Structure 1
Amino acid sequence: MRQPGFFDVDECLARLSGLGDQLEAFFQTVGFELFRLELHKALAYADGSKDGHPPFEAVLMFKILVIQTLNNLSDERTEYLINNRLSFMRFLGLGLSDRMPDAKTVWLCQKRLTQAGAIDVLFNRFDAILRNTGYLPMSGQILEATLVAPQSSAIPTLKRRLCGKDGSSQDWQDKPSMLSHKDRHVRWILKFTKAKRQEDESIPATYLAILFFGYKSHISIDRKFLLIRKWKATDAATSDGARVCWIKPICHQQFGGIRPYRSKANEDFMDKHGFVSKVHRKKPLLKPMPRHIQRSNAGKSIILSRVEHVFADQKSQTGLFVRTVGIARATMRIGLANIVYNMSRFLLLKQIKAAT
């Protein structure tokens, strides 16, 4: 092995840029300094009058959360990779000899942002940046929800609670140390999925009932740019149809969604605010679906499928997996995933615009 050279780091970073460093593109496209004021208010760092190390910059910690969300990392893994990867150091503006935040500092930053409820403020701040850049939500909204799995350790605990030997849950409720580690905000939901179609079309389709345990991420995206405009994190048992009222402040021409969003109250709400409903129609009870409704639903499904690309991107890239306990921290996790997705989508839209 040869002796390290003076320009070895610069040459390595140049190679990373040539290979297409996503974090470098983030740094050049997203103005992270625009979040500084909101982050300072939420983190509420000390003024430095007391002894001890000065706190890390708020924007630096927010960038670390972006890295953590983008790569689906735990706090300990985040600390290791920040010290290990040159691309992470360049994105954070740190050198090899600079002091690096540890896992406890990253956890504390998340905790303060969660307690301050800052995730909505940060999301709305970046949405304002998108609007000022020209990406206005003027082509209609698509509302959909996806199930988000929690930490695996919570599942057997709830099973023991529901299916215990004596039918009670006193075995863990009497111990506060155990109670603090159990997620009591997650809920069960029974999800029906269509089984694989039979070769003989005369045989009616069968449905499978799947029991899911976790949270639910509701999002509303604009039809043209596929950017998330509104979002909400709830437990898995929350009804999807109750989320239609989000679209009121956006004021668009069309609204699309699957059958759970169609109800008389929702249809009256959309008619009152001037929306054109593109929600799927339900099958008549104990009657075959009329042919014209089938064709109408098929056309709506082509548009509705766009929101599935958003969920697929989130679950494949950011993981969209809740490692924490409680609905407040789950909201923080899902909100960060939505912000990071909008940043990635904004970067892609800028690249498409530059290419054309």
Structure 2
Amino acid sequence: MNMNFSELDVSRRTRKGNFLKQIDQLIDWAPIEKAIARHYAPASDAVGRPAYPGLLLFKMLLTGIWHGGLSDEAVEDMANSNLHVMRFLGLYLEDDVPDHSVLSRFRTRLTAAGAWDGLLTIINEQIQTHGIMVTQGCHVDASITHSQRKPKIKPFYEVVNDREDRDDEADAQAAMRVIEVTQPGVDTEARWVKKSGKSVFGYKQHTVVDDNGLVMAVETTAANCHDSKPLLTLLDKAGIEPGTRVHADKAYCSQKHRDALKSRGIKNGIQDKAVKNKPLTRRQLQRNSLITKVRYVVERTFGSQTRWFGSKVLRYCGNASAHAWHILQAMAYNLRRTLHGQSQFQVRLMI
């Protein structure tokens, strides 16, 4: 294939073992590009110029996460100045780089279309072709993502005036309700929750991982949602098959979940929880200890995402945008772990 001078110059100046180049060689981007095109395939931009390919914008989002969870503006700057990033994006020195507003609109478009979960599935299918993901067991947990759009002052309320001439109307009671006044700039879909004695405002990232800690599925809720509530939805989304053992801490322990796992043919690896006047037996305590030793992988996943990507702080507003951020991190994490840990990943025996 012929190579122009700018492409030759970029190739000459980039290290062969660079992380982004290795990712490019690991992944077949064609099915991902096809999936993106179902939701984002504009022929031109707002001023009539040819639109940027969706795959290019998707790669830019991943690049921003791999470099510490950069803002869209910082990603644009990096694509203009970093030769490794330029080569990964398929750009030449003379090419225009999409600006941050294009990147933001692309993310918004795919978020509105609910496309992110499907892209994670495609990424994971590709990882499976390398023999990395395992299906003998899975681990479930939740982590809080902090919203920067929290209320600065205590919420205040207004009372809708009671009008006696409407007392006989069906909606009169609703019209007299007390409502919370929305504060400008506050994320109205995020919620407060107590964590380690401190109040936190944001969302919860409910995640199921395989035995290697690779993310299989994610659900996003407001932070005040109990950890265990999305469990069955998560298992269904991840396609957990009968015979698989699900590990989780005692927050997920309930008769409802025991019955649901049994009906699905899924093995119960949820820690037991003591109830009033009924302490755990010695056998239950031993079982809990064994479960703790194997479910560390999901905590390692959350810890690595925090260290590598700055995942604890959300730049965006709304549950759907928070979910997009969680899924993008999951894809970035799975690809990084796959590339750097292929020789270390081993299938472990289940409890």
- TM-score normalised according to structure 1 size: 0.81
Residues 288/337 of structure 1: CA separation in 2 closer, same or farther (3 Å cut): same
Q: Partner residue of 1:220?
A: 208
Query: How far off its partner does 1:88 sit?
Result: 0.8
Q: Does 1:42 align with 2:34?
A: no
Identity %: 26
Residues 50/276 of structure 1: CA separation in 2 closer, same or farther (3 Å cut): closer
Please tell me whether the aligned partners of residues 139 and 253 of structure 1 are also in contact (alpha carbons under 8 angstroms).
Answer: yes
Q: Partner residue of 2:292?
A: 301
Render the CA deviation track for 1:302-321: whole Å, top value 9, x for unaligned. 01111111111111111113
Distance 1:84 1:296 in 2: 54
RMSD of equivalent CA atoms: 2.7
Q: SS of the counterpart of 2:209?
A: strand
Q: SS of the counterpart of 2:206?
A: strand
Distance 2:201 2:186 in 1: 14
Residues 267/103 of structure 1: CA separation in 2 closer, same or farther (3 Å cut): same
Distance 1:58 1:134 in 2: 28
Q: Partner residue of 1:55?
A: 51
Query: How far off its partner does 1:57 sit?
Result: 1.2
Render the CA deviation track for 1:326-351: whole Å, top value 9, x for unaligned. 11111111111111111112223435
Distance 1:77 1:316 in 2: 19
Q: SS of the counterpart of 1:161?
A: coil
Q: Does 1:211 align with 2:203?
A: no
Q: Which of the residues 89, 94, 98 maps onto 1:92?
A: 89
Please tell me whether the aligned partners of residues 161 and 168 of structure 1 are also in contact (alpha carbons under 8 angstroms).
Answer: no
Q: Which of the residues 323, 330, 334 maps onto 1:342?
A: 334
Q: Is there any run of 5+ residues in structure 2 with no aligned partner, and where?
A: 1-6, 159-177, 346-351
Q: Partner residue of 1:147?
A: 144
Please tell me whether the aligned partners of residues 70 and 318 of structure 1 are also in contact (alpha carbons under 8 angstroms).
Answer: yes
- TM-score normalised according to structure 2 size: 0.82
Question: For residue 251 of structure 2, what is the amino acid of its counterpart?
Answer: P
Render the CA deviation track for 1:134-160: whole Å, top value 9, x for unaligned. 445431111111111112xx2233x43
Please tell me whether the aligned partners of residues 226 and 306 of structure 1 are also in contact (alpha carbons under 8 angstroms).
Answer: yes
- Pairing of 1:109-120 with structure 2 (within 5 A): 109-120=106-117
Residues 260/52 of structure 1: CA separation in 2 closer, same or farther (3 Å cut): same
Query: How far off its partner does 1:325 sit?
Result: 0.8
Distance 1:110 1:38 in 2: 14
Residues 68/57 of structure 1: CA separation in 2 closer, same or farther (3 Å cut): same
Higher helix share: 1
- Pairing of 1:272-291 with structure 2 (within 5 A): 272-285=263-276, 289-291=280-282
Q: Partner residue of 1:268?
A: 259
Distance 1:168 1:50 in 2: 40
Question: For residue 161 of structure 1, what is the amino acid of its counterpart?
Answer: P
Query: How far off its partner does 1:128 sit?
Result: 2.4
Q: SS of the counterpart of 1:108?
A: helix
Query: How far off its partner does 1:244 sit?
Result: 2.5
- Pairing of 1:90-169 with structure 2 (within 5 A): 90-135=87-132, 137-151=134-148, 154-157=149-152, 159-161=153-155
Query: How far off its partner does 1:291 sit?
Result: 3.3
